[in-house]
Structure 1
Amino acid sequence: MAIHSSSNQDDSNKRAMPSYFNLPPLDVSNAFPQATPASVFPPCASDYFQFDDLLTPEEQAVRKKVRECMEKEIAPVMTEYWEKAKFPFQCIPKLAALRLAGGTIKVFFVLLSSFYSQGYGCPGLSILGSAVGTAEVARVDASCSTFILVHSSLAMLTIALCGSEAQKQKYLPSLAQFQTIGCWGLTEPDYGSDASALKTTATKVEGGWILDGQKRWIGNSTFADILVIFARNTSTNQINGYLIFILTFIV
């Protein structure tokens, strides 16, 4: 029986490897010229499921506006940011102009037996209109849609549903314009998104609260201005939400 040493076996394996292992990274555009580049999105040529018939003229206008912006303004630059693993801060003004943040937030009140809506600077979109707009963002870049969903559907909507009137007036208008950025802190290292098992605590002290704990995988958290943090109230043992406004001091 012939016994080969591990070093000899490794040498044999190396000699058997194809030569392309030592080549530079593959240029996909040259290797697969038929593939559509990430920065190019062909126009929708049909409406096979007659989706247009389900949308109001206002919802169709939202979809058209978002689609044009994402295809012309966002798609050409996103590949570069993906390669660098960086966030495209330069795109925030363009995303803000789409008026998707806080899309469905409204407060209704009765005046002279009629309903009026006041949305704290939010666009007052229908649920379908907001969903269609976000889907058009995701069609071009999922990271941008995640950024908007965390900011709008998590942070802003939590403030709108659970915050006091003073908090809504204070925070929602700037969030709706993307003048401030929001994040939503629920997930923790040990229990994930199991809200009933959170370890982060909130203790009432003179002048405010002390939050003590860890969060993980919190979208937008590295650059957010307003943080919605979930923690266990040490006085009641209940899970509450806490708003944190980050002040940046420039020396």
Structure 2
Amino acid sequence: MRTHPFDLFAIDGLLTDEEREIQRTVRTMGERELRPRVAQWFEDGAIPARELARELGKLGVLGMHLEGYGCAGTSALSYGLACLELEAVDSGLRSLVSVQGSLTMYAIWKYGSEEHKQEWLPGMAAGEKIGCFGLTEPDAGSDPGSMRTTARRDGSDWILNGTKMWITNGSVADVAVVWARTDEGVRGFVVPTDAPGFSAPEIKRKLSLRASVTSELVLEDVRLPAGAVLPSARGLSGPLGCLNEARFGIVFGALGAARDCLETAISYVGDRTVFGRALASYQLTQQKLADMTLELGKGMLLALQLGRLKDEGRLTPEQISLGKLNNVREAIAIARECRTLLGANGITLEYPVIRHANNLESVLTYEGTSEVHTLVIGKALTGEGAFR
């Protein structure tokens, strides 16, 4: 008789009935509708983004932790569990949901005008409109304060010029939230992607997050009306607040990829015969499984604690850094170790392990690299900033 890794930590007993039901619903949809197709999407390097957005909108996970405007208004922890189940299928699918809800929709919901919210949020919650978030630039990733994109006033209008890079959903988006330097400091702008001067060429030849649309955003004298600016966001605190929302989802999401790898490995070693015995019966195999289960369970306990703190309004950026640093680092280690248990089969798309491992290489560095989160934690512990 096999015990599931999470059962050793009695994880289900830490969730409410509603949280368990949301998790089951997302997992069922993922297993039935997404998993059968995701390996082909990864191999092709292309996804049916609009179809997926509508499916995920019907599921209710787009902006699910936001209130009003067609959003479900669930707890943050429930949103985290949904991210876990989506990333158990593929990190690219969780990225679509995360960028839509935790970055673009959250920016409009938190910092936008009522007109922005009414125009965009209902359609985005339904998956009828897709959004992207333009912060990262070719030379400004971990240091967004060095961005070169500018917005200058021209009468009552704004003129935007610049380039953004590694933008999820960019080529299929209907709206982009773009951050730019102005005479007033960094400001955010709601940019319809059909605006003259806006283009979003897709980035190809990726070996990670292949089941995801990744793009460059190019803004060449994009003219926007005065009302395009996000009125309640000034300075870097605006985009950084959005990033913390997305990082929270990653704390849970990375565990989904790790869980799927571990479940796959446990099943595989039970069926695989080596030297006349099941691979699962060897001590080294069991040591690997036990070590991975320990790290997965510890990561889940950390995620649940952070989720409770977020729902109580007590979660700090430093705590999010703890979760992102630990859970992604352990998830990628689990994926790599599981690959060894599958041997040569571990490098094929017949199994999800190498796909998860490749995806987690991106998750390790986006929304804040491990190095940046390490320094955030170090500053909290010492009171000394070591970024420069």
Which band: TM-score by shorter chain? 0.7 to 0.9
Match for residue 97 of structure 1?
Answer: 58
Match for residue 164 of structure 1?
Answer: 113
Within 5 Å, which residues of 2 pair with 1:1-251? 47-89=7-49, 90-106=51-67, 119-206=68-155, 208-233=157-182, 235-236=183-184, 238-247=185-194
Amino acid at match of 1:161: K
8 A Cα contact 1:101 1:151, kept in partner:
yes
Partners in 2 of 1:226 and 1:246 — Cα distance? 5
1:141 Cα deviation after fit: 1.1
Residues 88 and 45 of structure 1: CA distance in aligned 2, closer, same or farther (over 3 Å): farther
Larger radius of gyration: 1
SS of 2:8's partner is coil
1:207 Cα deviation after fit: 5.5
SS of 1:153's partner is helix
SS of 1:87's partner is coil
Match for residue 5 of structure 1?
Answer: none
Partners in 2 of 1:179 and 1:211 — Cα distance? 26
Q: Unpaired segments of 5 or more residues in structure 2?
A: 197-388
Amino acid at match of 1:121: G
1:65 Cα deviation after fit: 0.7
After TM superposition, which residue ranges in structure 1, 4 or more long, deviate above 4 angstroms? Answer: none
SS of 1:215's partner is strand
Residues 78 and 248 of structure 1: CA distance in aligned 2, closer, same or farther (over 3 Å): farther
Structure 1, residues 214-241: CA drift from partner, whole Å, max 9, x if none? 11111111110010000001x32x0000
Partners in 1 of 2:101 and 2:117 — Cα distance? 13
Structure whose residues are more often helix by fraction: 2
Amino acid at match of 2:10: Q
Partners in 2 of 1:46 and 1:139 — Cα distance? 14
SS of 1:216's partner is strand
1:88 Cα deviation after fit: 2.7
Q: Which moves more between the two structures, 198-207 or 183-192? A: 198-207
Partners in 2 of 1:45 and 1:224 — Cα distance? 38
TM-score, normalized by length of structure 2?
0.47
8 A Cα contact 2:53 2:130, kept in partner:
no
Amino acid at match of 1:171: W
SS of 2:124's partner is helix
Amino acid at match of 1:142: S
1:206 Cα deviation after fit: 3.8
8 A Cα contact 2:53 2:128, kept in partner:
no
8 A Cα contact 1:195 1:239, kept in partner:
no
Question: How many positions carry a matched residue from both structures?
Answer: 193
8 A Cα contact 1:186 1:193, kept in partner:
no
Amino acid at match of 2:57: A
Q: Which moves more between the two structures, 67-76 or 202-211? A: 202-211
SS of 2:9's partner is coil
Higher RCO, Cα 8 Å, sep 6+: 2
Partners in 2 of 1:77 and 1:227 — Cα distance? 28
1:191 Cα deviation after fit: 2.0
Structure 1, residues 37-61: CA drift from partner, whole Å, max 9, x if none? xxxxxxx696221211222221111
Please tell me the root mean square deviation across aligned C-alpha atoms, in Å: 2.0
8 A Cα contact 2:104 2:132, kept in partner:
yes
Match for residue 36 of structure 1?
Answer: none
Identity of matched residues, %: 36
